């Protein structure tokens, strides 16, 4: 499929956090990539990233909350007709706080970025993906269990996990592997933004993971064909517990006052 086309990766949320780390590790580990398309709002961050990787980057300054961003991405894909070997949906947005404490645009913004944009980008890119390609969808361990004071964010990540698992089955005949990446809290600026409206619980601070290790495992799990990537013993135990015990019981333990 699409032989002779430029082999590329596309990474959203590439200006910071795990999206940025994905660009660095993809450029270092996947010699067959001729170019990486990096998508984010902050052009200056993307241009700085160009100096740090050995693979050419195509900078796409797009705000995935804006409908026009999808039209521009579609136009770029149609014009260049690349062969997309790896898609990383790393863009994400979260705010901590009770439902009545958060602004309406903050709550709907999480849905727009975490669900709508992820779905749109995936749909736009799929026709350009060939056999033995990979999609990494950044979900979260928050997908395993409802999260009071993080309710909308956790719900959006549950969507990503469910959508990714279904997509993995749909795309199996095309030999396209889909992996939902479900880390616990990760030491990135994500929480700097999230905590502008509230503080994360202490138990989450104690299990903060290194983004380099999370991304390394995610890429390894994707290469192994896993549909879900969970980093760390504690998060794996949490994943198992959320399957075994009623959610109301776990919530009563974690959020008891």
pTM equals 0.89
Cβ atoms within 10 Å, residue 83: 17
User: What is the torsional sign of CA 221, 226, 232, 235?
Assistant: positive
Give the Å distances, CA to CA, from 92 to 6, 34, 236.
28, 26, 22
Run means of pLDDT, 10 residues per run, the chain, 257 residues? 80 95 96 96 93 95 96 97 98 91 95 98 98 97 93 97 98 98 80 51 62 96 97 90 89 76
Q: Which pLDDT does position 209 carry in this prediction?
A: 81
Q: Which fold has domain 7-254?
A: Rossmann fold (3.40.50)
pLDDT for res 201: 55
Find out whether 174 and 132 touch, Cβ atoms under 8 Å.
no
Domain ranges in the chain are: 7-254
Angle at alpha carbon of residue 248, lines to 149 and 203, rounded to 5°: 50
């Amino acid at each position: 499929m699409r032989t002779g086309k430029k082999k590329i990766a596309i990474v959203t949320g590439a200006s910071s956090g795990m999206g940025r780390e994905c660009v660095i590790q993809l450029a270092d580990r996947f010699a067959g990539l001729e170019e990486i398309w990096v998508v984010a709002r902050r052009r200056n961050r993307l241009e700085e990233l160009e100096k740090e990787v050995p693979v050419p980057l195509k900078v796409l300054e797009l705000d995935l909350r804006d409908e026009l961003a999808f039209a521009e991405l579609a136009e770029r894909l149609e014009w260049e007709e690349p062969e997309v070997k790896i898609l990383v949906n790393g863009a994400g947005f979260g705010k901590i706080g009770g439902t009545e404490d958060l602004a309406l645009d903050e709550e709907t913004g999480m849905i727009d970025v975490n669900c709508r944009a992820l779905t749109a980008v995936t749909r736009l890119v799929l026709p350009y993906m060939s056999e033995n390609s990979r999609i990494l969808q950044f979900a979260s361990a928050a997908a395993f269990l409802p999260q009071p004071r993080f309710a909308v964010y956790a719900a959006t990540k549950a969507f990503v996990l469910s959508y990714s698992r279904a997509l993995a089955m749909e795309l199996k005949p095309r030999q396209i592997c889909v992996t939902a990446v479900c880390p616990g809290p990760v030491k990135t600026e994500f929480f700097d933004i999230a905590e502008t409206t509230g503080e994360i619980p202490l138990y989450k601070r104690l299990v903060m993971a290194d983004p380099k290790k999370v991304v390394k495992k995610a890429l390894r799990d994707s290469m192994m064909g896993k549909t879900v990537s969970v980093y760390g013993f504690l998060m794996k135990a949490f994943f198992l517990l959320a399957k075994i015990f009623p959610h109301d019981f776990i919530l009563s333990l974690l959020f008891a006052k």
